[in-house]
Structure 1
Amino acid sequence: MTDYRRLRVALLGAGAVGSQVASLLLRHGDELADRAGAHLELAGIAVRDVDAPRDVDLPRELFTTDAETLITGADIVIELMGGIEPARSHILLGLGSGADVVTANKALLATHGPEIFDAAGRVGASVYYEAAAAGAIPIIRPLRDSLAGDRVVRIMGIVNGTTNYILDRMDGEGADFADVLADAQRLGYAEADPTADVEGYDAAQKAAILASLAFHTAVPLDAVHREGITTVTADMIEEAREAGFVIKLLAVCERLGNGGDESISVRVYPALVPRDHPLGAVHGANNAVFVEAEAAGSLMFYGAGAGGVQTASAVLGDVVSAARRHIAGGTGVGESTRANLPVVSIGHVLTRYQITLEVSDEAGVLAAIAGLLSEGGVSVATLVQTVIPAEDGAGGDTARLIIGTHRATDSALSAAVDRLAASDAVERVVSVLRVEGE
């Protein structure tokens, strides 16, 4: 083997991803050295309990509970502990010691990204985080490097495998949310507490990371509009199918306006996507990110969004990049927030709704509903009416209306739904979904 320079690698965490990273470093060390131009020596693995059972058999002498000593002696620190603390403190210690950092910690970057990138910039180090946004899918480097000379206009992505698995099963089988969620938990796709996934928190963290990078703007997590999928029913899925749509939990990052009036919107919600759109064909627990740029046009990135060995692939790609930077020398390239665009609330976004109502099947109801919509400048694009006969057959039938609106601001559409809900002409607002990808 070539006599390469040796770089010491500290690994923090030995869970599903960390143990796979360690195993691949040990098994493919020579091959990785050829790619990186340096021998990557796994100096140690910091864990809370060295005797805890693990899925991968690793040399016991590599394990330590002394994370600080391991970090300060490393050239590259891989943080795969998750959570905020002590991960944040360990990363800042590594950067302060002159190490480059590789992390898959989306929660940490979404909440403390500016602090971490500033710390890296002060010492000329780099932070790599390909695995933080979409697992094994290469999306960070394309946004940061390949599209650096372009202007990203919009990102629309399925970035949470658990919710896509649930919605895909509901779409394919007509199953209820609760039943599919229980299956997902048994199969390991969903945690015992699935809140982070099904309520959109995980996707919101990833959306903040992607938007910050694409639009050169620090996007705080609390600026991301977030809705989950717990209100999606089998009936909503069937109505979507009949209209030519599929329901997906989307992360949408969008540039609004032109010139000096530009702003950005970052949002996560279940939306109707045309079945012939590339994102409409993303099945199972897979992820996909659809990018629209001014010059490059439409780009699609698709693959596994989670999984130990899959995510380890992205982590090791970052480790090789960090090693190459060490060999080449010079300072790391920091994250750009030069644009500093304002992040606006969802009310400013132009979108369109599909509104499902239950109303009395009687004269004048449709005119009343059209009037309530037009009060706020909302117009009807499509209307499907289905009569639901009364159970006793003695009249008093109910009609189900599925109304597709023309594009309007989200605030105008939301206000229109509120007027409908308060009206005597409407018995119940069954569902409201936004339409994306048209």
Structure 2
Amino acid sequence: MTSKGALRLGVAGLGTVGAGVATLLRANADLIAARAGRPIEIVAVAARSRGRDRGVDLSGVRWVDDARALAADPDVDVVVELIGAAEGVARDLVKAALEAGKPVVTANKALVAVHGADLARLSERAGVPLMFEAAVAGGIPVIKAVREGLAGDRLDWIGGILNGTCNYIMTTMRESGRDFADVLSEAQALGYAEADPSTDVDGIDAAHKLAILAALAFGRPVDFGSVVVEGIRGIGALDLQFAARLGYRLKLLGVARRHADGIETRVSPCLVPEGSQLASVEGVFNAVLVEGAFVGRLMLEGRGAGAGPTASAVVADLVDVARGTAVPVWGASDTALSASRSLPRESFVGAYYLRLLVRDQPGVIAEIAAILRDEVVSVRSLLQHGRAAGTGQEAAVPLVIVTHETREAAILAARTRISALDVVLEEPTMLRIEAG
């Protein structure tokens, strides 16, 4: 990297975020140069289409056909990877750049979550930074807050609302009473959800982010494979109605919690009390909660995606690189990271919401109660949504059970046995309850 003059960037990917970075660097060039101590400019780009109008002037910027060539380009000081995906060109480029001794700035949450442990070792060996503020929660500066701002504290809990698409869908379902499929279609039309929404609505996007946050919070190598992941496809308008009657709101949460025997990491739809901090985070907004032994509870909230917020986070990392500011990828050197194990789902403990659709006939509640008793699941409350409209054996009513704290192994076993009863007409819906 040159010691004087402009910091020269090779940018791979000119989609929404890449174009946003180019726009921000031009719009705020003087301010950024003053804060970075030198100008920051794009000298080379790699993208699929040269002719596409991206709304930013790229005249004078050199185009490269193969993004991987940026790693060896002598005129590029820093590689900015904005392609996305955990495998393929993105991984090849980042690996080659680090091996060539070039700093890397990326917004690629999947890459960092899946390959972050190996890439961190490459970064440490080469003595160059791997920066990824934009990979989690867009413009919310949560990486720096956790890794640097809270470096002196022991963190015991981190998580929150990590996917704006899911938060928008569930907010709109609650406010409108419409079903999942209808609201998802609206989110796609508005550009809040992709044509293939699986990564968002099945919880994968939030799980990538949670794996990164857990590694930073607990000082251990990133472990995406251990995250228990559930999405929101099974959530119905009825669940949102019951949640409101019980004094809760429904959110897709990522939660990482420290226990004496290891780390719990999971992404799942959860009920949170209506008066809690997370309950008030609506629409496409993200929020990250952190609890530390000395700092107590902190919450950071903002837009978790989009060209502007994500570009802001990318440029913040570039300013750090220009200044020569660098910290270990996971907050400590590889040899100093914790070996805390990831806990299996069966060991998790919490309170649960269980919604059943059952035949409206005598003895049903007694059968269900017997199973819960056998599995040592204590019931806190029971709510039945009126009597069935019809008559006969097929008349059905929804039934909601809220439990006291219990081991997840117990509630999973109870759910399996309950679903096998003749009087239960569909797979029960099970949701965690969090303090929020």
Same fold (TM over 0.5): yes
Aligned in 2, Cα 1:383/1:40: closer, same or farther, shift over 3 Å? same
Secondary structure of 2:207's counterpart equals helix
2:84 corresponds to: 82
2:283 corresponds to: 284
Secondary structure of 1:77's counterpart equals strand
1:204 corresponds to: 207
Q: Is the 8 A contact 2:226 2:265 kept in 1?
A: yes
Q: Is the 8 A contact 1:11 1:77 kept in 2?
A: yes
Aligned in 2, Cα 1:98/1:66: closer, same or farther, shift over 3 Å? same
Letter in 2 for 1:47: A
Aligned in 2, Cα 1:145/1:332: closer, same or farther, shift over 3 Å? closer
Letter in 2 for 1:349: F
Secondary structure of 1:134's counterpart equals coil
Equivalences for 1:286-305 in 2 at 5 Å? Answer: 286-305=285-304
1:23 corresponds to: 23
Per mean C-alpha deviation after superposition, the further-off stretch among 174-183 and 335-344 is 335-344
- TM-score of the two chains, using structure 2 as the length reference: 0.92
Aligned in 2, Cα 1:391/1:120: closer, same or farther, shift over 3 Å? same
1:382 corresponds to: 381
Equivalences for 1:86-235 in 2 at 5 Å? Answer: 86-235=89-238
Shift of 1:185: 0.7
Give the whole-Å Cα distance in 1 for the aligned partners of 2:164 and 2:328: 31
Give the whole-Å Cα distance in 1 for the aligned partners of 2:258 and 2:313: 28
Give the whole-Å Cα distance in 2 for the aligned partners of 1:383 and 1:227: 24
Give the whole-Å Cα distance in 2 for the aligned partners of 1:106 and 1:308: 15
Letter in 2 for 1:315: V
Secondary structure of 1:251's counterpart equals strand
Per mean C-alpha deviation after superposition, the further-off stretch among 335-344 and 157-166 is 335-344
RMSD: 2.1
Give the whole-Å Cα distance in 2 for the aligned partners of 1:396 and 1:9: 66
Letter in 2 for 1:77: V
Letter in 1 for 2:190: L
1:372 corresponds to: 371
1:265 corresponds to: 264
Equivalences for 1:328-407 in 2 at 5 Å? Answer: 333-335=328-330, 336=332, 338-392=337-391, 398-407=396-405
Give the whole-Å Cα distance in 2 for the aligned partners of 1:432 and 1:203: 19
Give the whole-Å Cα distance in 1 for the aligned partners of 2:154 and 2:344: 22
Structure 2 residue ranges without an equivalent (≥5): none
Give the whole-Å Cα distance in 1 for the aligned partners of 2:383 and 2:267: 27
1:274 corresponds to: 273
For residues 104-131 of structure 1, the C-alpha deviation after alignment (integer angstroms, 9 at most, x for no partner) is 0011111111111111100111111011
Letter in 1 for 2:168: Y
Q: Is the 8 A contact 2:262 2:343 kept in 1?
A: yes
- TM-score of the two chains, using structure 1 as the length reference: 0.92
For residues 143-190 of structure 1, the C-alpha deviation after alignment (integer angstroms, 9 at most, x for no partner) is 100111111111121111111111110011111111111111111111
1:419 corresponds to: 417
Aligned in 2, Cα 1:359/1:221: closer, same or farther, shift over 3 Å? same
Letter in 1 for 2:28: H
1:71 corresponds to: 71
2:434 corresponds to: 436
Q: Is the 8 A contact 2:43 2:61 kept in 1?
A: no
Per mean C-alpha deviation after superposition, the further-off stretch among 19-28 and 279-288 is 19-28
Q: Is the 8 A contact 1:376 1:415 kept in 2?
A: yes
Letter in 1 for 2:430: V
Q: Is the 8 A contact 1:219 1:343 kept in 2?
A: no
